[in-house]
Structure 1
Amino acid sequence: MKEVDEETRLINAPFGSMPEFDPAPLPDPGVLAPGLKAWTLNVPGPAGALPMRIYMPEDRREGPIGLYFHAHSGGWATNDGLEACDTENSAYAIAWGCAVAHVDFRVSWKAKFPAAVEDCYAAYKFILDHADDLGIDRTRIGVGGGCTGANLATVVSLMARDEGIQAPAVQWLWSAVFDTRNCARSYDEYANYGLTRELAETVTRLYLRSTEDMFDWRASPILAPSLAGLPPAIIWAGEWEILRDEARAYAARLSEASVDVTYIEGPKQPHGGIYANNPKTGKPTRYSQETLPKVNALMRRFIGPDDPLV
């Protein structure tokens, strides 16, 4: 492996002293950005009401707007509370000029696979069914997330296609889990770097009911029989992360299925490097500053205002 630059080394240092796994950490309050309003509502789910938080620009123009359906990361196991994600979701709304929806799906220590998948899909369908009431343009709804959240968003897109309902306009999948078998070569190459193989295997074991679930495409979407007819996808992976090879493989399968796919691989970047901050300055890394605007421009094209100047 080549030498790591200082920023990347600082980002990965905390992984060497991870605290013991706590399935229910106390939530840290997020910060809602100026110019946005947010509220939480309950939507019907397979096992009861699901809290979902909606973020809406206050100065939105008349008429329906696009929306980003965000499935949070955290190994399918952690949930710091919807309001704890106000800062992150505010950033999406501002960068892309859209509304954001974030559902509180059941985490693995409460309910095993496929509970989280079913909850996310139910919430996605609720948004479609109530788009008019929410002021949302059904044709400009994107789905996405990072790591395990990207896994859930990917499966939502597959389920929407199979059921024949309105498909997402775009998928934003960064440092995504496409294969819960955890068997790609990059798992060996970067086993102890950034997101470690041990941690990935631990959260997978907590999420799935049995080894057999690894071969269910709802857990490992790369095993879906066909990827034809899926919405456009923007996929990001770090060159130096265990999830790199499955991202490459999923992007290749999408391309072979004639799906519009943009694959971005961050040179020498770790897990989540697209959104990484320099621990010394607290500001985005050089790589993030250079790359994220390109992703934001693509997302605005799919779910942002029709008028690019707005």
Structure 2
Amino acid sequence: MSRATAVKLPVPMKIQRSVLLATAKMPNAVRARLSRLAPVNADGDRLDPMLTAITLASKYIPSFALMGKTVEESRRSLDLNSAMMAESFGPFAVEEDLVMDTAAGPVPATRYSLDGNGRGLIVFYHGGGFVVGSRVSHDSAVRALAVASGADVLAVDYRLAPEHRFPAAVDDSVAAFRYAVAKAADWGIDPNQIVVAGDSAGGNLAAVVAQQVRGDDVVPCLQLLVYPVVDMSRKRPSIHEFSTGFFLTEADMDYFRETYQSSADDVSDPRFSPLLAESLSGLPDAHVAVAGFDPLRDEGLEYADALEKAGVSVTVDRVGPMIHGFLNMGLLTPVARDSIARMGEAIKRAVAAA
């Protein structure tokens, strides 16, 4: 077991987890009846009934909100809440905590291999607005991706703001990919079969890494972008439609942007807002997953469209009933698990093609 990602839930959260486990097993007929009470967005998507409950909890129970009173409290809360809602997996053959010695400095990471014979490698960057989140909060998510794809995973703990503002996270993320390329053979992996992946802020970093290493001898075979934030220079309709009440809020995004940036000019830097890159041609194939009730939905779709127009092969998974963060919610709803399965298939295809 990875010591760096182990979490011990307090007793009240163990009880909450038991309730979630029981509720998640509700019959489909009951789920269908409850869904009639769920909100519907402007595109006609109906929110998953389990996630309706989660959004209500995040609105009225402070510990369920993404951001708390302090950054440290928020980081700890996200780790615990993610563990409470995490799917359970048996031990992996390899769960190795390591520190990557990179040009950007030491970068902690955890390497996972389901059976010791990974079919490719996923270099994964966690979400959390560049401020919260960790390999702890996303331990279950990366395990789910490993199971779905058969690939090994390298979960990267890049530096966070406000202690380390832009471009620290980018520097760590690019260095981590290049470290993985250099170490792949030692891990029994073909370096040409490496995927860059991430959710939310991590999706931003995966997209940025794909752009930044475009001229390297080895580039990713796929960019897996899960509800990515790709343009912080302006707001789109979805951030107003889902401004509050759906876990991630407009105020959260404003805070994350202001906390991450080193100056106001950063928002136009393609390393900050990858959608603003001068050219997207020549980038790896992409699989982009977006949630129907997510402030970031529209920019994720816009980035997928821009990639496609630049000649990049793109698959889009528009998961209508989901909210931001559903990669961590496979325990709660089969809709999230089905989307993760499609991510796994996209990884398999890319690795096989490489």
Tell me the TM-score range normalised by the shorter chain.
0.7 to 0.9
Q: Taking structure 1 as reference, are residues 290 and 125 closer, same or farther at Cα in structure 2, changes over 3 Å only?
A: closer
Q: Taking structure 1 as reference, are residues 87 and 271 closer, same or farther at Cα in structure 2, changes over 3 Å only?
A: closer
**1:97·1:305 contact (CA, 8 Å) conserved in 2?**
no
**1:36·1:58 contact (CA, 8 Å) conserved in 2?**
yes
Does 2:240 match 1:188? Answer: yes
Range moving further from structure 2, 266-275 or 205-214:
266-275
**2:230·2:273 contact (CA, 8 Å) conserved in 1?**
yes
Q: Deviations along 1:229-264, whole A, 9 cap, x unmatched?
A: 011111011122111111111111111111000012
CA shift, 1:154, in A, is 0.5
Residue of structure 1 aligned with 2:124, choices 70, 79, 82: 70
**1:66·1:305 contact (CA, 8 Å) conserved in 2?**
no
User: Percent identity of the aligned residues?
Assistant: 28
Q: Who is 1:303 aligned against?
A: 351
CA shift, 1:301, in A, is 1.8
Residue type of the alignment partner of 2:183: H
Residue of structure 2 aligned with 1:127, choices 180, 185, 194: 180
Classify the secondary structure of the residue corresponding to 1:267. strand
Q: Who is 1:241 aligned against?
A: 294
**2:174·2:209 contact (CA, 8 Å) conserved in 1?**
yes
Classify the secondary structure of the residue corresponding to 1:136. coil
Q: Who is 2:28 aligned against?
A: none
Residue of structure 2 aligned with 1:23, choices 71, 77, 80: 71
Classify the secondary structure of the residue corresponding to 2:278. coil
Range moving further from structure 2, 33-42 or 195-204:
33-42
Q: Who is 1:34 aligned against?
A: 91
**2:123·2:180 contact (CA, 8 Å) conserved in 1?**
no
Range moving further from structure 2, 116-125 or 14-23:
14-23
Classify the secondary structure of the residue corresponding to 2:252. helix
Does 2:224 match 1:167? Answer: no
Q: Deviations along 1:150-173, whole A, 9 cap, x unmatched?
A: 000100000011x33311111111
Q: Report the TM-score, using the length of structure 2 for normalisation.
A: 0.76
Q: Deviations along 1:119-141, whole A, 9 cap, x unmatched?
A: 01001101112221222211110
Q: Report the TM-score, using the length of structure 1 for normalisation.
A: 0.87
Classify the secondary structure of the residue corresponding to 1:269. strand
**1:171·1:234 contact (CA, 8 Å) conserved in 2?**
yes
Q: Who is 1:259 aligned against?
A: 312
Q: Who is 2:340 aligned against?
A: 292
CA distance, structure 2, for counterparts of residue 86 and residue 188 of structure 1: 31
Does 2:191 match 1:138? Answer: yes
Classify the secondary structure of the residue corresponding to 1:265. strand
Q: Taking structure 1 as reference, are residues 188 and 83 closer, same or farther at Cα in structure 2, changes over 3 Å only?
A: closer
Structure 2: segments with no counterpart, 5+ residues: 1-38, 41-45
**1:103·1:120 contact (CA, 8 Å) conserved in 2?**
yes
Residue of structure 2 aligned with 1:58, choices 103, 115, 124: 115
**1:266·1:274 contact (CA, 8 Å) conserved in 2?**
no
Does 2:210 match 1:157? Answer: yes
Does 2:262 match 1:209? Answer: yes
Q: Taking structure 1 as reference, are residues 303 and 104 closer, same or farther at Cα in structure 2, changes over 3 Å only?
A: same
CA shift, 1:272, in A, is 3.0
Measured on the aligned residues, the alpha-carbon RMSD in Å equals: 2.4
**2:112·2:153 contact (CA, 8 Å) conserved in 1?**
yes
Instruction: State how 1:71-150 maps to structure 2 within 5 Å.
Output: 71-80=125-134, 82=135, 85-150=138-203
CA distance, structure 1, for counterparts of residue 338 and residue 183 of structure 2: 37
Residue type of the alignment partner of 1:15: S
CA shift, 1:305, in A, is 11
Structure 1: segments with no counterpart, 5+ residues: 278-282
Classify the secondary structure of the residue corresponding to 2:255. helix
Residue type of the alignment partner of 1:34: P
**1:33·1:87 contact (CA, 8 Å) conserved in 2?**
no
CA distance, structure 1, for counterparts of residue 165 and residue 318 of structure 2: 31
Q: Deviations along 1:101-127, whole A, 9 cap, x unmatched?
A: 012211012210000001010011011
Aligned residue pairs, count: 296
Residue of structure 1 aligned with 2:284, choices 231, 256, 274: 231
